[in-house]
Amino acid sequence: MKQVLEHIKAAAANHKKLLAVLIDPDKQRFEALPEFVDLIHASVSTHIFIGGSTVAPERTEQLVSVLKGLTSLPLVLFPGDVSQLTETADALLYLSLISGDNPEYLIGKHIKSAPQLRRSSLEIIPTGYVLIESGKESAVQRVTHTEPLKRNKERIADTAKAGELLGMQLIYLEAGSGALLPVPSEVIRFVKNDLKIPLIVGGGIRSKKQLDAAYEAGADLVVIGTAFEKDLSFFNALKKDIHSGFVNPKP
């Protein structure tokens, strides 16, 4: 069923905030997954994103297969490379790095993935991926050999708008995994006010306060990875609360 994008759009339209836990197949120990998924289920998380900058081939597929047996939350590929595509997931963020000028990450990887995706039943979601300066060099910057955008809201909004006008279905503002500085609220607000499509924000969010600030500024879906990798007790601050206004599709 191709429903991941529709669900995100409906949530955004109804101001229901979404939270994706990002799992890096190379960093996650498979033995620890049952406990990790239990914590995800007890929290307000609504999605699991899977991906990393450098992941050993097969590892993504193995991880998704294990997760399938543990959860009915949507499993969404957030791949750093073509080798991270697997049919076992529910959807694919088909990322084009529109903040950069490296043709390989604007269209090159996509051409390489086309033979596989032509036959795929994955839900493919075209996503404009916008890397923003965040206080230190990010893995995305290092791997893609592109410069992040300066924290200049006009230029970032123009980039996001260009992605929307090209037909992308989501915009992802990325500060980079483990960023020192998350995407500033004023940038999120400025970009969101200018967009008709849902807005994803990630990178460097490690507290409930920062999460709420991103939501309040207009993020429809926030992605958090490193904070959970470093400290599982962060889930305690994100426990489900019927009054919280979050929506969780898990039955």
124-132, 163-171, 223-231, 233-241 -> range binding ligand 1GP (CB under 6 A): 223-231
DSSP reduced 3-state for 197:
coil
Nearer to ligand 1GP, 2 or 142 (CB): 142
Judged by beta carbon, residue 156 or residue 179, the one nearer ligand 1GP is 179
Does residue 226 bind ligand 1GP (CB under 6 A)? Answer: yes
Question: Between residues 172 and 246, which has the closer beta carbon with respect to ligand 1GP?
Answer: 172
Question: Would you count residue 174 as binding ligand 1GP (CB under 6 A)?
Answer: yes
- Considering the rule CB under 6 A, would residue 178 count as an interface residue with ligand 1GP? yes
Q: Is 225 in the site for ligand 1GP (CB under 6 A)?
A: yes
160 forms part of the interface with ligand 1GP (CB under 6 A):
no
Q: x/- string (CB under 6 A) for ligand 1GP, residues 191-210?
A: -----------xxxx-----
Q: Is 179 in the site for ligand 1GP (CB under 6 A)?
A: yes
Nearest approach, Cβ of residue 173 and ligand 1GP (Å): 9
Contact between 74 and ligand 1GP by CB under 6 A: the answer reads no
- Chain mean position to CA 105: 17
Residue 7, CA atoms < 13 Å, CB-side half-sphere: 20
Residue 131 makes contact with ligand 1GP by CB under 6 A: no
100 in contact with ligand 1GP (CB under 6 A): no
The residues that touch ligand 1GP, with contacts defined as CB under 6 A, are 22, 174, 177-179, 202-205, 223-227
